[in-house]
Amino acid sequence: MNIQLPGKAATFQANQRERAEKQRTALGVEARSWYRITNQAGDEAEVMLYDEVGGWFGATADEFIADLRGITAPNLRVRINSPGGSVFEGIAIANALRSHPANVTVQVDGIAASIASVIAMSGDRIEMAPNTMLMIHDASGVCMGNADDMQEMAELLDLISDNIADAYAARAGGTRAEWRDRMRAETWYLPEDAVDAGLADEAAQTPKAGTPAGEPDGDEAEMARAYDLAAYGYTGPRREQPKAETGLTEDIRSLIGEEVAAQLRATVATAETVPAAEEPACVENEPAATTEYRGEHGPESVPLDAAPADDWTALVAALIPDDTDDWSALVSHLTEPDTSSSAAAEA
């Protein structure tokens, strides 16, 4: 299906090109190349549309169509990343792609907006790469003149928008009115949305060329490879080690020498054969031994096992005789009153 230009389109397009050329000359810039064609005679040629289509600073469709005629490959992949541009340049490109004898696959690499979305409709198959977008809206333009000129421009823009709506309807189905409603709302489509709307055939998940699906390539393969821990002495999962036997091991003997190891063995053997000191038998119901000290409120008795049991106490305990009773007998007649003299005084 070819998009038909309005009756005054030729004059309008010619005026656009003339004004664009004057603008470039005034600014001292050259028309930049907004497309690239490679592998023209191979099995699949590639066309990249990666900029504004035509417009004030872009090249015209004439150059693109001339280069397109040189493609003899049976398959043609058109990759689009464009915000749009000149409506009539885009329509000319779309019709040239439809007319080409190659099997045309359009691949949206970034964005296909405005007239670039119309170019995308020219493919025999349309693929949306991951995270790409497609946008449709009504045509817009600039006009200078009187009211009649403005009215004429409004009618022309409305006619162009109807023409573009027919392109979407021819591809995805529906009516012109339905697509004009979507265009007036400036509708954006994600890959899955474009497929659901009929504007694309596939939301592609494309692996790298020459790499089977699921298998990384190049640097990715190196990154995905399991890290080799053998360089750090790792030989596999840790296994439970048997408990070491009591005593010296062959590894220790090799470190300290047989002579020192023999001395250590003799020391350990001697310590194991010395019998432990026997503890005195416990006598039941025997009063606990106490010691007496003078506190703030007079003599007090404290169990011996509650007294400090340091080494010094143990050494001197046997040197201090327990002669409390003998001393008390010697001084008792000096401290206790004589009963006989007391009785005489009272009588």
Q: Sorting pLDDT into bands at 50, 70 and 90, what band is 332? A: low
pLDDT at residue 259 greater than cutoff 60: yes
What does the alpha-carbon distance between residue 225 and residue 206 come to, in Å, rounded to a whole number?
22
Residue 307 has pLDDT above 60, yes or no: no
Q: What is the pLDDT of residue 304?
A: 47
Residue 2 has φ and ψ, to the nearest 5°, of -100, 140
**Closest C-alpha to 108, from 85, 135, 127:** 127
Contact present, 54 and 61 (Cβ < 8 Å): yes
Rounded to an integer, the average pLDDT of 84-109 is 93
pLDDT tens per residue, range 157-180: 999 999 999 999 999 999 999 999
In the prediction, which pLDDT does 36 show? 81
Q: Is the pLDDT of residue 346 over 90?
A: no
Find the range with the poorest average confidence among 24-28, 181-185, 299-303: 299-303
Distance CA 159, CA 8 (A): 11
CA-CA distance, 10 to 21, in Å (whole number)? Answer: 17
Mean pLDDT of 51-71: 78
Q: What is the pLDDT of residue 173?
A: 96
Going by pLDDT thresholds of 50, 70 and 90, the confidence category of residue 207 is: low
And the tokens for 11?
């004059």
The residues annotated with a catalytic role in the active site are 114, 137
List, in order of start, the domains of the chain with CATH numbers.
9-194 (3.90.226.10)
Most confident among 85-89, 115-119, 256-260 (mean pLDDT): 115-119
Q: For position 131, what pLDDT does the model report?
A: 94
196 versus 337: which is more confidently predicted? 196
pLDDT band at 263; cut points 50, 70, 90: confident
3-state SS of the chain is CCCCCCCCHHHHHHHHHHHHHHHHHHHCCCCECCEEEECCCCCEEEEEECCCECCCCECCHHHHHHHHCCCCCCEEEEEEEECCECHHHHHHHHHHHHHCCCEEEEEEEEEEECHHHHHHCCCCEEEECCCCEEEECCCCCCCCCCHHHHHHHHHHHHHHHHHHHHHHHHHHCCCHHHHHHHHHCCEEECHHHHHHHCCCCEECCCCCCCCCCCCCCCHHHHHHCCCCHHHHCCCCCCCCCCCCCCCCCHHHHHHHCHHHHHHHHHHHHHHHHCCCCCCCCCCCCCCCCEEEEEECCEEEEEEHHHCCCCHHHHHHHCCCCCCHHHHHHHHHHHHCCCHHHHHHHHC
- Contact present, 133 and 117 (Cβ < 8 Å): no
> Which range, of 22-31, 91-100, 195-204, averages the lowest pLDDT?
22-31
| Predicted confidence (pLDDT) at residue 88 exceeds the cutoff of 70 | yes
Instruction: Compare 45 and 228 and report the one with higher pLDDT.
Output: 45
Kindly indicate the confidence band of residue 79, based on its pLDDT and cuts at 50, 70 and 90.
Answer: very high
* pLDDT over 90 (residue 215): no
Residue 111 confidence class, pLDDT cut points 50, 70, 90: very high
Question: Is the pLDDT at 183 greater than 60, yes or no?
Answer: yes
Q: Which tokens go with 45?
A: 């040629």
| Residue 168 CB neighbour total at 10 angstroms | 23
pLDDT band at 105; cut points 50, 70, 90: very high
Rounded mean pLDDT of the chain?
74
More confidently predicted of 19 and 324: 19
